[in-house]
Amino acid sequence: MKGISRSEELYRRAQALIPGGVNSPVRAFRSVNRPPLFIAGADGAYLRDADGKRYIDYVCSWGPLILGHNHREIARAVAEAVPRGLSYGAATEAELVMAELMTGMVPSLEMVRMVNSGTEAVMSALRAARGFTRRDRIIKFEGCYHGHCDAMLVKGGSGLLSGSSADSAGVPAGAVADTLVAAFNDLGSVEALFAANREAVAAVIVEPLAANMGVVPPEPGFLEGLRERCSREGALLIFDEVITGFRLAPGGAQEFYGVRPDLSTFGKIIGGGLPVGAYGGRREIMETVAPLGPVYQAGTLSGNPLAMAAGIAQLSYLKGHPEVYDHINRMGDALFGGLREILERTAAPCRVNSTGSLGCLFFTGNEVRDFSSAKKADTSRYAAYFDRLLRQGIYQAPAQFEALFVSAAHGEAEIARTLEAAEAFFKDFPGNPGEGKGAYG
């Protein structure tokens, strides 16, 4: 076809065969009002699209690529595993090595079970929590994402104490009847739910640093308060570390914040780019999982040899190279600190939230500390910002309420180029129309 890009041509063909042309909704670029890129390759901090255009990549596959794309040691480990066979459906030494690495690095992990995605990890951890406590209810937080299993597809809205209703069609009311929704950074909302559901709450599940409503760090005392309330109420505390695990620190958010959950879920980084998830925690809880106990959970491809090879290579590298954390945190501070300075210089009514290599630019002048404050962001203005930077070869999350990820492959040159493009945008269009401060054209 003439006159359209290869990405657009592929998108047209894909739409006929794949819902929305994509295998995960955010990839369709709908919230930035433009057709999606189709990616043909990647290396280090860069993506290459189907038209051969290069981009600095701040999505990094939504987190797995903490060492950048196509890291040599991970690529080699996978290539070496291929000739040994792709799957056996039987136990392997690699799974043991993975379990040793994970339990050695993450403070609260005494036992761990491998699965194939973050969604599966959460679904399984919730089942183990319910089986162990013999209680049914789960408290989650508005704006926290835990994958697409039925029980977690609830944000709850404002009626914190009323019944929950699902965000998705196809989720029966019964599947979310035991899901209670609290407000992030608000211990009072958790206490109210505990008070109204005495001895019925199996677990509180939380992203210890929320990274799916943009980035919203926990306020001092919030995670400690959850720990204390859960222990007092006989409920389990589950940290969903699918993003934060092995990123905020080698031992994840639980090491970074010094709070010990009962169960944790992982994904993304532990697969190095291959489909992997895991859940684990206290031994007595994990001993309820089949075949040891009555909580059934299984997986044909769980602990897959290629996935384990990638995961072991990535976690071993992180364990052996603590300077990776210094680097990504320094680059994160340079990027997000630089953005804050630009906002100040241009008096743009925006906020940057960040912790280390995770951060987010919100198009709102208000402080963002939970879902309701995050939602005030002007998404059409984010779309304009996204588009402008994309045209300059900088690929950020194609949606306002997502994190930016900095990897070990991002250096000062990439950060400087990004800040330059951001500054030009804000010089041209300093205000947010939604907030009545200047015009955006």
Ligand X SMILES: *Cc1c(COP(=O)(O)O)cnc(C)c1O
In 127-269, the DSSP E strands lie at 137-141, 179-182, 201-206, 236-240, 263-266
Number of residues interacting with ligand X: please give it, by CB under 6 A. Answer: 14
- Least Å distance, CB 397 to ligand X, is 12
Tell which phi-psi region holds residue 337, choosing left (phi > 0), alpha (psi between -120 and 50) or beta: alpha
Buried b (16+ CB within 10 A) or exposed e, 308-324: bbbbbbbbbbbeeeeeb
- Least Å distance, CB 269 to ligand X, is 11
In whole angstroms, give the CA distance from residue 108 to residue 275.
Answer: 23
Sheet holding 46-49, edge to edge: 39-43, 46-49, 54-57, 394-395
Residues 383/390, Cβ–Cβ less than 8 Å: no
User: Toward ligand X, which CB reaches closer, 117 or 432?
Assistant: 117
Q: Which residue is nearest to ligand X (CB)?
A: 118
Residues 293/325, Cβ–Cβ less than 8 Å: no
User: Toward ligand X, which CB reaches closer, 105 or 213?
Assistant: 213
- Least Å distance, CB 365 to ligand X, is 27
User: Toward ligand X, which CB reaches closer, 117 or 400?
Assistant: 117
Beta bridge partners of 201: 137
Angle at 213 between CA 69 and CA 233, to 5 degrees: 110
Q: Is the peptide bond before 261 cis (omega within 30 degrees of 0)?
A: no
- Least Å distance, CB 47 to ligand X, is 19
User: Toward ligand X, which CB reaches closer, 68 or 147?
Assistant: 147
- Least Å distance, CB 151 to ligand X, is 13
* Residue in this structure with the two tokens 């075949």, named with its chain if needed: 291
Q: Which of 186, 240, 262, 378 is catalytic?
A: 240
Copy the structure tokens of residue 139: 């408290």
Q: Which of 55, 268, 279, 370 is catalytic?
A: 268
Copy the structure tokens of residue 51: 């038209």
Q: Which of 243, 248, 318, 343 binds ligand X (CB under 6 A)?
A: 243
Residues 39/48, Cβ–Cβ less than 8 Å: yes
User: Toward ligand X, which CB reaches closer, 142 or 240?
Assistant: 240
Q: Which one of 173-181, 237-245, 296-304, 378-386 is the stretch in contact with ligand X (CB under 6 A)?
A: 237-245
Query: From residue 65 to residue 104, what is the string marking binding to ligand X with x (rule CB under 6 A)?
Result: ----------------------------------------
Is 363 buried (19+), middle (13-18) or exposed (0-12) by CB count in 10 A?
A: buried
Which amino acid, residue 261? Answer: P
* Residue in this structure with the two tokens 């040994």, named with its chain if needed: 84
**Residue 179 interacts with ligand X (CB under 6 A): yes or no:** no
Q: Which of 60, 242, 306, 409 binds ligand X (CB under 6 A)?
A: 242
**Residue 145 interacts with ligand X (CB under 6 A): yes or no:** yes
| Cβ neighbours of residue 290 closer than 8 Å, sequence gap 6 or more | 296, 297, 298
Residues 352/336, Cβ–Cβ less than 8 Å: yes
Q: Which one of 116-124, 166-174, 357-365, 394-402 is the stretch in contact with ligand X (CB under 6 A)?
A: 116-124
Residues 307/270, Cβ–Cβ less than 8 Å: no
Q: Which of 145, 382, 385, 395 is catalytic?
A: 145
Among this protein's residues, is 57 annotated catalytic?
Answer: no
**Residue 255 interacts with ligand X (CB under 6 A): yes or no:** no
Query: From residue 256 to residue 285, what is the string marking binding to ligand X with x (rule CB under 6 A)?
Result: -----------x---------x--------
User: Toward ligand X, which CB reaches closer, 146 or 381?
Assistant: 146
Among this protein's residues, is 145 annotated catalytic?
Answer: yes
In whole angstroms, give the CA distance from residue 225 to residue 202.
Answer: 17
Q: Which of 7, 31, 108, 119 binds ligand X (CB under 6 A)?
A: 119
- Least Å distance, CB 184 to ligand X, is 13
Query: From residue 194 to residue 213, what is the string marking binding to ligand X with x (rule CB under 6 A)?
Result: -------------x----x-
User: Toward ligand X, which CB reaches closer, 146 or 327?
Assistant: 146
Among this protein's residues, is 240 annotated catalytic?
Answer: yes
Q: Which of 146, 327, 369, 381 binds ligand X (CB under 6 A)?
A: 146
In whole angstroms, give the CA distance from residue 272 to residue 310.
Answer: 5
User: Toward ligand X, which CB reaches closer, 147 or 280?
Assistant: 147
Q: Which residues are catalytic?
A: 145, 240, 268
Instruction: Give the footprint of ligand X on this chain (CB under 6 A).
Output: 117-119, 122, 145-147, 207, 212, 240, 242-243, 267, 277
